[in-house]
Structure 1
Amino acid sequence: MPAYRLGSKGEEVRKIQAKLQLLGIYLGPLDGDFGGGTEGAVKLFQEREGLEVDGIVGSLTWGKLVGGEVPRPSIGYQPLDYRCLSLTGSYETGTGIPDCFAGVSGDFDGQGISFGVLQWNFGQGSLQPLLKQMFNEHAERSRSIFQDRFDLVSSKLQGGKSDLMSFARSIQHPTKHFLYEPWRGMFKSLGRSDEFQRIEVASANALYRAARQLCVDYRLWSERGVALMFDILVQNGSISSVVKGHILADFQAISPGLEEDDAEVTRLRIVANRRADAAKARWREDVRNRKLCIANGEGTVHGISYNLAEQFGIELRRFVV
């Protein structure tokens, strides 16, 4: 049964917040982010209604507050590539849907501007093709977002890299590297648009196909497996032949008597730990925490609580080949 709790994000959370706001017990923004303010308001509502006070919006609390049956998160109806991209994007940007598709940062790393769910950027030349495609295929929508600055951005995209990098640096703080308004808001609006999100998903599709092939190579059959391999490709780039050998050797020690689901989770944990062990010491435990969250289906990453099934519709079920 679906439930919404601390760390949940999306349109369903926004509905919860709106109802609580109408009752005068939630004073925060309608941002679709189930944080401490939302949890506190839910607990107050549950106390008033004589419900179990746990801060979780399950079937009983949803029925009393919103009415009807608690819905499955809308992201659960999206294809698996979108769900995997959303999860990894949430890790990468620290925000949920749709804002993970609109994450924007400045030149703190020398890349000019980094944007989108996988932080494509000007410095490496990975962002320009996405913006050009958007401008060419959805010119009217793009112009409605950038308004009288559309022609300026378009011309910079057609020019040289040096000029583009200078432009990128001119629209952000020189030391704190946040984009000035209205540029930040314009890029955020672009990333929230359905058109640009489709371009982001398509751009990440090669990685998604590679993640599915890795699942075949490592005998992983679940949606969680695809999500794990996709996150490895994004954050870590690959699995070396040496690490692969360790993983496959560990697989041999798995008890043949385990139930199918338990065996799959065991394999996922092995992959997660072995890939983390191979990471640089500075990042090793961050990699492990992130990967084990996927393997286990839940956890806390960068202070944010995750439940893959409830928040992203990623479950321990077979993915469609």
Structure 2
Amino acid sequence: MAQGLSYQDDYLVGGPARAWVTPNFRLAEYTRPDGRIRVHRELVAGVQLLRNALGRSVGIVSLMPEGGLGHGRDGRFVWVEAGDPAAVVAAATRLARDGTFEHIEARGPRVYLEMPDPAHLPPLVAENALARAIEVTAAFETSGDPYLQVTGNFDGAGLSFGPIQVNFGTGTLQEMFRRYRARDEAALKRCFGELWDEWQQVMALPSRSRQVAWADALSRGRNKADVDPRWKAALQAVGNTPAFRDETLRYAYDVYGRKLIAALSWLDGVCPIPIGNFRCLAALYDLCVQQGSLDKAHEAIRRRIAAERPSDEFQLTRIAVEERGRKANAAWRADCISRRLCILEREPVEVSDSGRSARRDNPNLYLLRNVPVKQMARYLL
């Protein structure tokens, strides 16, 4: 997503005109009439979040001061149009609760949006931070709305679903759906409709292998990556249900949040540099999802910390993710490390290891705010 773009002190200042800066906006849309580009990456992210919240196109109509608004705020404001300005203001006001915007004002059909002072960006609330981390990690594996992802038996896991790709093979899908049923069985039944009875029979099968075999028969397309349309629609109805989205988030807290706390606790014992920046936490969360823990790299991390004496949380996190990545299967080491560094640096990072190279990118890098997270450890415990 960020390839070819140029930044100075977190301000986007150049790149190819048709380059995507976020999933729905190209650089040309942030270019001023004189050809100059200067817009803070947090504002770019805020406009994309607004577009996500509205679920419709947002037009960038000006980046110039006007009517007493924007003066002395170069690169920190934008004028947009997206239909009913009252609806735009309402959506932007909700985003302002976590510090995305500081000043929102409608002027006729247009809405003025201004971000907070970059030198004093507010911290993220822990729940919001973890939700963002889940979306970033999911974007490495899937595209589109991560809660609507349904994948067939291309990898032997039978059926994979949602932002953390729970599946029959690991037993995580079964556990997730037990939680959904306990949360709201009537809503779950409505999602499946006439398929409900068969779904219940599948969930009651005595072994994971039989559940995988059932899903394999429903898998479609090249490499069995797709799923029978009726079942895909039912599962996407589940993913579209707010209560089940919330339960998915809770499941992620319970499983991967605990792993993240364990990793942070161990690192603190080895090198007492507090890790609280969202970029660092998101990189470590991604590691916990893909590799489980830091355990296999404990000795390598200790040695490197002793040799390099990191002075900040970014250096410490980099050591942790690089050394744990080097303990992966040789075929995936470069991929693991590149993926984590992409999160940490908010741009693709090329990595070579064990004779292989990788340069992972992620369309959701705009979610990675360069701010601390409030009471993350307390929230996850």
TM-score by length of 1: 0.72
Task: State the partner residue of 2:299.
Answer: 245
Deviations 1:195-231 (A, max 9, x none): 2222222222232122123212213421333322221
Task: State the partner residue of 2:241.
Answer: 193
Task: State the partner residue of 2:78.
Answer: 60
Task: State the partner residue of 1:69.
Answer: 113
Aligned-CA RMSD value: 3.4
Code of the aligned partner of 1:199: E
Q: Is the 8 A contact 1:272 1:291 kept in 2?
A: yes
**SS across alignment from 1:160:** coil
Is the aligned partner of 1:170 residue 2:217?
A: yes
Q: Is the 8 A contact 2:342 2:361 kept in 1?
A: no
Task: State the partner residue of 2:257.
Answer: 208
Q: Deviation of residue 46 (structure 1)?
A: 5.4
Provide the rounded CA distance (Å) in 2 between the counterparts of 1:203 and 1:82: 11
Task: State the partner residue of 1:270.
Answer: 319
Q: Deviation of residue 291 (structure 1)?
A: 0.9
Q: Deviation of residue 273 (structure 1)?
A: 1.9
Provide the rounded CA distance (Å) in 2 between the counterparts of 1:11 and 1:172: 36
**SS across alignment from 2:322:** helix
Provide the rounded CA distance (Å) in 2 between the counterparts of 1:86 and 1:119: 12
TM-score by length of 2: 0.62
Code of the aligned partner of 1:277: R
1:112-261, aligned counterparts within 5 Å?
112-161=158-207, 163-173=210-220, 176-177=223-224, 178-204=226-252, 205-219=254-268, 220-222=274-276, 223-240=278-295, 243-254=297-308
CA change 1:61–1:278 in 2 (3 A) is: farther
Q: Deviation of residue 15 (structure 1)?
A: 3.8
Is the aligned partner of 1:311 residue 2:355?
A: no
Percent identity, aligned pairs only?
19
Is the aligned partner of 1:3 residue 2:58?
A: no
- Segments of structure 2 that go 5 or more residues without pairing to the other structure are 1-39, 67-74, 81-104, 117-123, 269-273, 349-358
Deviations 1:18-54 (A, max 9, x none): 244xxxxxxxxxxxxxxxxxxxxx5xx559999xxxx
CA change 1:238–1:66 in 2 (3 A) is: farther
Q: Is the 8 A contact 1:276 1:285 kept in 2?
A: yes
Deviations 1:233-271 (A, max 9, x none): 211222245x32232333234568x5xxxx111112222
Identify which of structures 1 and 2 has the higher relative contact order when contacts are C-alpha pairs closer than 8 Å and 6+ apart: 1
How many residue pairs get aligned? The number is 276
Higher helix share: 1
Q: Deviation of residue 138 (structure 1)?
A: 1.0
Q: Is the 8 A contact 1:4 1:13 kept in 2?
A: no
Deviations 1:96-148 (A, max 9, x none): xxx21332110111221111222111122221121132134312211222222
CA change 1:268–1:61 in 2 (3 A) is: farther
Q: Is the 8 A contact 2:259 2:292 kept in 1?
A: no
Q: Deviation of residue 288 (structure 1)?
A: 1.3
